[in-house]
Each structure stands twice: as structure tokens, then as C-alpha cells.
Structure 1
Amino acid sequence: MEFLGISDVEWIGYAAMATVLISFLMKSVNKLRIVNSFGCLLFVFYGVLLEPLSMPIIITNTAIFFINAYYLLKK
């Protein structure tokens, strides 16, 4: 399915990109990590939906998600 000539999968990629960018506007490091983690999960989902799978997107964003989770749970 498409909206404005952009596929659903691409919209997920744009949402992930926007979420990660917005995370860097946060003044609180904890809020940054939470919003960034959500963006990373969207990127992982996006990487899985791409044909073929995009392992660099999946691996990088999974690693960043776990780094964020580590620091959020450490406190």
C-alpha cells in the first residue's frame, strides 16, 4: 500500500528517522535515551521489513537499543 507515492515500509523508515532526530532535542539524557530507543526499535522493524533484510540497520539499531537500555536500567 502507498500513501503520497511512498510505501508503508518507507513511512516506517521516515518515522524512525524523525524519532531518532527528535531524541537529540531532549535536554534530559534519560528522555533522549527513551525516545532514541523507540526510534531504534522502529529502525529494527524497518530493517526487517526491507527486501532483502538489511542486517546493518538491524544490528546497529539493536546494539544502540541495548546500550540505551543498559544506561537507563543502571540508574
Structure 2
Amino acid sequence: MLNIISILIGLLSLIIVIPAQIPFLGWANWIALPFVVAGVVIGQLSRSNSGRNFCLIVLLIAVVRLMLGGGLL
């Protein structure tokens, strides 16, 4: 059950992260980061690793985009 919740949180975060890849919308990654971290924590508590791994991939995409944009753009 926790794995499904983690995947749902990851999908919600991915919906926020995908438009944030457009220039000048990188600030939306800051909104997605708390959701992704919550998804990773919930995924860590479950027996399966797929939800946690999915959230970690979304987290990696958001962090790389923030690093390329200087943390704001």
C-alpha cells in the first residue's frame, strides 16, 4: 500500500516537474521537491523498491534542472 502511495506522489511530482523544464519555469521544481522527498520517504517504508526508485528518478531530474538553471531559472 505504501508503494502505491509513493508512486502516486511521484506521478504528482512528475506532473509538476515536466512543465518546469521550460525556461523561466524552473522555480516550479522548488514546489515539486517536498513532494518528491515525501514520496521517497514513504517508498522507503514499503516492502517494494519501485515507488522509491521512481521518486528518486523524478528527484534527479528536478535537481539537475535546478543546477543547470542556477537554482532559480
TM-score in same-fold range (> 0.5): yes
Calculate percent identity across the aligned residue pairs: 11
**1:37 Cα deviation after fit:** 1.7
Letter of the structure 2 residue corresponding to residue 55 of structure 1 = N
The correspondence of residues 1-75 of structure 1 with structure 2, limited to 5 A, is: 17=9, 20=12, 24=16, 29-50=25-46, 52=47, 54-75=48-69
Equivalent position amino acid for 1:69 in 2: V
Q: Which has the higher contact order (CA 8 A, sep 6+)?
A: 2
TM-score, normalization by structure 1: 0.57
Q: Following the alignment from structure 2 to structure 1, what is the Cα–Cα distance between the partners of residues 25 and 68? A: 13
Could you list the runs of 5+ residues in structure 2 that have no partner in the other structure? none
Give RMSD over aligned pairs.
Answer: 3.0
Tell which structure's C-alpha radius of gyration is larger. 1
TM-score (norm: length of structure 2): 0.58
Number of aligned residue pairs: 58
Considering fraction of residues, name the structure with more strand.
Answer: 1
Q: Distance in 1 between matches of 2:51 and 2:29?
A: 18
Report the AA paired with residue 61 of structure 2. Answer: I
Structure 1: runs of 5+ lacking an equivalent: 1-9
